[in-house]
Structure 1
Amino acid sequence: MYRLEHPWLLAILPLPLVLYWLLPPYREEQDSLRITFFDFVTSSLGLTPQHQAVILRTNWLEKIVSVLSWSLIVVALARPQYIEPPIQKIEPGRDLMLALDISQSMETRDFRTADGKRMRRVDAVKQVVADFIRRRKHDQIGLIVFGQTAYPVAPFTLDHEACQQMLAQIDAGMAGPQTMIGDAIGLAIKQFNASDAKQRVLILLTDGNDTGSRMPPRRAAEIAKENHIVIHAVGLGDPHATGEDKMDYAALEQIANSTGGKVFHGENRTELESAYRELDKITPQNFKTLSYQPRRELAMIPIGAALLLTVGYNLLMLLIGMGMSLWNRQAKKATDTQTPEIAMLKVRL
């Protein structure tokens, strides 16, 4: 798309014509000799002297070149531009942290595949979470794993493929046998401190209860709330078990409710997939798109065209003048070489 940055400058196009009408004619000063018998000379030659300005002679080509050059200069002053198609930049509207429990209990084979075979909890979680990451195209996603200790696996990034590769490499027991939920929330809070996103969401997945975090889960949830972090919790353990293997949904509800989040049950493959589908709905992809339209300045084109016209016209006039001068010299030479008889005849005539 082409446009003029200052189209109002086109109003000065008729300025030379206005000046031609308003300004007095051009007066050229010339050296002269005053003689007392000037009237006698003019009357003898049949001339009538007039008091007026000397009008410079022009030709039609010069007028056309002058008009075109002036028009091109005015167009250049108006700054012609070419507006290129807009460039869109997508910025994430939220940061999403996934905290996954990979304690030793995640080795339990109580999940089933589509064909009925038993599979480990950790394998089912990796498949469902990988699919969840694949759907969150415009969110910055980070990954934390925890067991006896919490570890950052991937910082907030839009490189979801790298995040999925890191997810595929984790396994149950890598972070120790116990479950430190409070420490995992505390590590997530530290990760969010480097984030400038307005919306911060932590999705916590565990299959047991807290077994002695240095930071109690309730206190960690309060700090998360102060930092405007919403925690959604997904539990996939057995609530009827005993000891460390018992899934403490009441504790998860306190953590999630204190930050405005929700708790989801994922005690089997179907419930786990349903939980992450629901999370996909309640944490919609919120992103902003910035558009920028590059502009290319085109003023050099009319300026160059005006320069070429002016230079071309002057070169043409120079060549014509040189040709006329050469023709005159040849004519004079031909005259000088005439026979004396012809010269005498002219003198007599």
Structure 2
Amino acid sequence: MYKLEYPWLLALLPLPLLVYWLLPAYKEEQDSLRLTFFDYISSSLGLKPQPGAVVPRTNWLQKLLAPLCWGLIVLALARPQRIEPPIQKIQPGRDLMLALDISQSMETPDFRTSDGKRLRRVDAVKQVVGEFIRKRKNDRIGLIVFGQAAYPVTPFTLDHDAGLQILDQTDAGMAGPQTMIGDAIGLAIKQFNNSEAKQRVLILLTDGNDTGSRMPPRKAAEIASQNGITIHVVGLGDPRATGEDKVDYNALNDIAKATGGQVFHGENRVELEKAYATLDKITPQNFKTLSYQPRRELFMFPLGAAVLLFVGCQLLMLLASLMIRLFSRRREKPEEATTSGVFKVHV
């Protein structure tokens, strides 16, 4: 699509006509040579003296090219532009951090596939979380894994393929045997410090209870709430289990409640998928689509055409003048010499 940046400048097109009609003709006075016997000289030459002026005349080429050049110059001043197809850019409105427990207890093969085969907790989590990430195309997603310590795996990014590759390489026990939930929340808070998103969400997944974080989980949740971070918690495993690996849902409820989040139970593969499906609904993708249309300036084409026409016209007139002079010289012929005969007269 083509457009003019300043279309109102086209009103200048009739300006030369207005100048021609409204302004008086340009006159230039020059000194003349006074002759004492001017009347005698003019009468002897057969000329009749009369007042007058030298009026420059234009030829048909000048009359044609002058308005054309003016129109091209005015068109260049109006800045013709070509509008390129729009380029759309998606600006995420939410930063989403996933904190995954990969302690030694995630090795437990108490999940089952659809055909009844046993599946480790960590493998089920990678499958469900991977599908969750694929659906969130317009959210910046970061990833934290934790066990005996918490580690940032990927920063907030729209490059979800890189995050999925790293998630696929993650395995249970890589971060140690224990579960430091409070430290994972504290690390997430640091990751959010550089975030400018209005909505900040942390989805924490664990299958156990905190085993000695430097920052108590409840305290970490309160700090997260002060920083505008909402924490949703997904607990894995049977809540009726006993021992150190039992999921502490009371503590998880306190974490979620302190930040306005929710707690989900993932006792099996189906419940885990339901939990992340619900999270996908309660945290809908929030983004803005920015559209930008590149503009290509085209003023140089009419301006260049006007310059070429003007220069070409001047060169053509100069060439015509030279040719006229050349032909006029060829037409001039020198006087032929005459010879006289000698006659004898007899008387």
- For normalisation by structure 2, the TM-score amounts to 0.92
Tell me which amino acid in the other structure corresponds to 1:307: V
Name 1:122's counterpart in structure 2: 122
Q: Distance in 1 between matches of 2:57 and 2:97?
A: 83
Name 1:347's counterpart in structure 2: none
Name 1:346's counterpart in structure 2: none
Q: Distance in 2 between matches of 1:227 and 1:4?
A: 49
Q: Distance in 2 between matches of 1:82 and 1:139?
A: 34
Name 1:326's counterpart in structure 2: 326
Name 1:298's counterpart in structure 2: 298
SS in 1 for 2:221: helix
Which has the larger displacement, 239-248 or 26-35?
26-35
Cα displacement (A) at 1:53: 3.4
Identify the structure with the greater helix proportion: 1
Q: Distance in 1 between matches of 2:19 and 2:48?
A: 31
1:203-218 to structure 2, matched below 5 A, reads 203-218=203-218
Q: Distance in 1 between matches of 2:51 and 2:18?
A: 25
1:222-241 to structure 2, matched below 5 A, reads 222-241=222-241
Cα displacement (A) at 1:164: 0.8
Q: Deviations over 1:161-220 (max 9, x none)?
A: 111111111111111222111111111111111212111110000111222222111111
Tell me which amino acid in the other structure corresponds to 1:181: I
Kindly indicate whether the alpha-carbon contact (under 8 Å) linking 1:238 and 1:245 is maintained by their aligned counterparts in 2: no
Unaligned runs of 5+ in 1: 343-349
Q: Distance in 1 between matches of 2:287 and 2:49?
A: 86
Which has the larger displacement, 85-94 or 58-67?
85-94
Cα displacement (A) at 1:26: 3.1
1:1-349 to structure 2, matched below 5 A, reads 1-30=1-30, 32-39=32-39, 49-332=49-332, 335-336=333-334, 339-341=336-338
Q: Deviations over 1:93-135 (max 9, x none)?
A: 1111111111111111111011101111111001111111111
SS in 2 for 1:244: coil
Cα displacement (A) at 1:292: 2.0
Which has the larger displacement, 39-48 or 202-211?
39-48
Which has the larger displacement, 8-17 or 139-148?
8-17
- For normalisation by structure 1, the TM-score amounts to 0.91
SS in 1 for 2:222: helix
SS in 2 for 1:124: helix
Tell me which amino acid in the other structure corresponds to 1:339: E
Q: Distance in 2 between matches of 1:285 and 1:60?
A: 69
Tell me which amino acid in the other structure corresponds to 2:10: L
Cα displacement (A) at 1:29: 4.3
Name 2:342's counterpart in structure 1: none
Structure 1's consecutive aligned runs of 4 or more residues displaced over 6 angstroms after TM superposition are 43-46
Tell me which amino acid in the other structure corresponds to 2:54: V
Name 2:343's counterpart in structure 1: none
Cα displacement (A) at 1:154: 1.3
Tell me which amino acid in the other structure corresponds to 1:133: I
Which has the larger displacement, 108-117 or 3-12?
3-12
Q: Distance in 2 between matches of 1:228 and 1:303?
A: 57
Tell me which amino acid in the other structure corresponds to 1:101: D
SS in 2 for 1:137: coil
SS in 2 for 1:144: strand
Q: Distance in 1 between matches of 2:287 and 2:52?
A: 77
Cα displacement (A) at 1:339: 3.5
Kindly indicate whether the alpha-carbon contact (under 8 Å) linking 1:103 and 1:176 is maintained by their aligned counterparts in 2: yes
- The CA RMSD over aligned residues, in Å, is 1.9
Cα displacement (A) at 1:258: 1.5
Tell me which amino acid in the other structure corresponds to 1:8: W
Cα displacement (A) at 1:52: 3.9
Q: Distance in 1 between matches of 2:60 and 2:238?
A: 99
Kindly indicate whether the alpha-carbon contact (under 8 Å) linking 1:27 and 1:54 is maintained by their aligned counterparts in 2: no
Q: Distance in 2 between matches of 1:149 and 1:44?
A: 122
SS in 2 for 1:340: coil
Q: Alignment identity in percent?
A: 74
Q: Distance in 1 between matches of 2:199 and 2:52?
A: 84
Q: Distance in 1 between matches of 2:302 and 2:174?
A: 70
